[in-house]
Structure formats: C-alpha cells, structure tokens
Amino acid sequence: MKIRSVNLNDLDSMVAIEALGIEDPWTRKQLAESIQNHRIRIAENETGIVGFLIYSTVLDESELLQVIVLPQYRRQGIGKSLMLDFFQELQTQQVEICFLEVRKSNEKAQSLYLKLGFKSIGVRRNYYKTPTGKEDAIIMRKELSVSPQ
Ligand SMILES: CC(C)(COP(=O)(O)OP(=O)(O)OC[C@H]1O[C@@H](n2cnc3c(N)ncnc32)[C@H](O)[C@@H]1OP(=O)(O)O)[C@@H](O)C(=O)NCCC(=O)NCCS
C-alpha cells in the first residue's frame, strides 16, 4: 500500500468509495471541488484506490475534512496510515494545530483520533443530518510538534 497525492483521474474511485462507505456521502461535485481546492492524500494498493484523506490548511492551522477507507479494507491499518501521512504533511507545512469534527455516534473514527492524540474540545449541537433527525458533532483538536526550519 502506498500513499500519494491526488490527481483528476482519481475522482471516479473517490465517488465510488464515498457511495459505499458512509450514510451521508460527499457528492461528485463536492469531491471534484475538493480536488481543486483542498489537499487530498490517496491510499492505493495493487487493486486500486482503497481510501483517501481530505484536509485544508490556512496559515498554521489545518482541518481534517474526511478520512475514509473502502469497507472491505477496514481494520487493516489503512486509516491510521493515512492519518500518520497527514501529520507528516502538516509538519512539512509548519502546521501547528489540527481540528476535526466527527459524528457523536462514530465511535470507530473517534477511537482512531483519540489514539493519535486528538482531544475533544467541544460539541456542535445537531450539526449532522441523520435518517431520522439530527446528530451532534464532536470537535477535536491536536497540537503538532513543528520542527525548526
Ligand atoms: C474511520 C476509518 C477511516 C478507520 O479506517 P481503518 O482503516 O479501518 O482504521 P485502522 O485499521 O487504521 O484502525 C485504526 C484504529 O481505528 C479504530 N477503529 C477502526 N475500526 C474500528 C472498529 N470497527 N471498531 C472500533 N475501533 C475501530 C481503532 O482504534 C483502530 O485501532 P486498533 O486497530 O489498534 O484497535 C474507517 O472506519 C472508515 O472509513 N469509516 C467510514 C468513514 C468515516 O467515518 N470517516 C471518519 C469521518 S470523521
């Protein structure tokens, strides 16, 4: 498995992974805009793209916007590898703080983030849609150690 930068040819695979992976998937339009406007890291093995991570950076702060792995490749360390690659990217950009929002019910992702040093810092009430209503977002934050240039 390798992790690389995104290119426009990756869009179809990204749409397919979103469609399989979660209840409120990013649309093709959102993903196409993300390829233009955000930073994306692609996890790829011999079968093709198996996951990806989307983030944005403004000055010394970054926001994790999405991390997703194809269902059949989950629990094999790919999500963690994408996150560790992300931290390396942030270090080269001299980013000091990273934020994210995660559904309160998404305990798998929260477990991943907590293991990697994120801490819960707040809640956005009723932030996400669910099939039956709304759900809170947990806001998490991690400080990164920046090496001197
Ligand atoms: C969250 C997600 C990216 C994790 O990817 P993954 O490749 O399965 O994760 P890893 O195999 O690297 O697991 C790393 C850690 O995540 C947590 N985790 C992952 N899957 C889990 C599960 N089914 N149950 C509990 N914890 C889980 C564990 O802490 C795990 O560490 P461990 O294996 O030492 O117990 C994946 O479940 C996914 O794509 N989910 C749907 C999209 C999503 O919810 N993204 C987060 C948006 S905020």
| Atom of ligand 1 minimally distant from the CA of 80 | 12
98 burial via Cβ count (<10 Å: 0-12, 13-18, 19+): buried
Cα 90 from chain centroid (whole Å): 13
Cβ < 6 A, ligand 1 pocket: 21-22, 66-69, 74-80, 102, 106, 108-109, 111-112, 115
pLDDT above 80 for 39 = yes
Cα(109) to centroid(ligand 1), Å:
5
Full set of structural domains in the chain with CATH: 2-143 (3.40.630.30)
Residue 101 annotated in active site:
yes
- Which pLDDT tens digit goes with each residue over 104-142? 999 999 999 999 999 999 999 999 998 899 999 999 999
**Beta strand pairing call for 39-45 and 48-58:** antiparallel
Strands (E), 7-145: 39-45, 48-58, 61-69, 97-103, 119-130, 133-143
Task: Specify the pTM.
Answer: 0.96
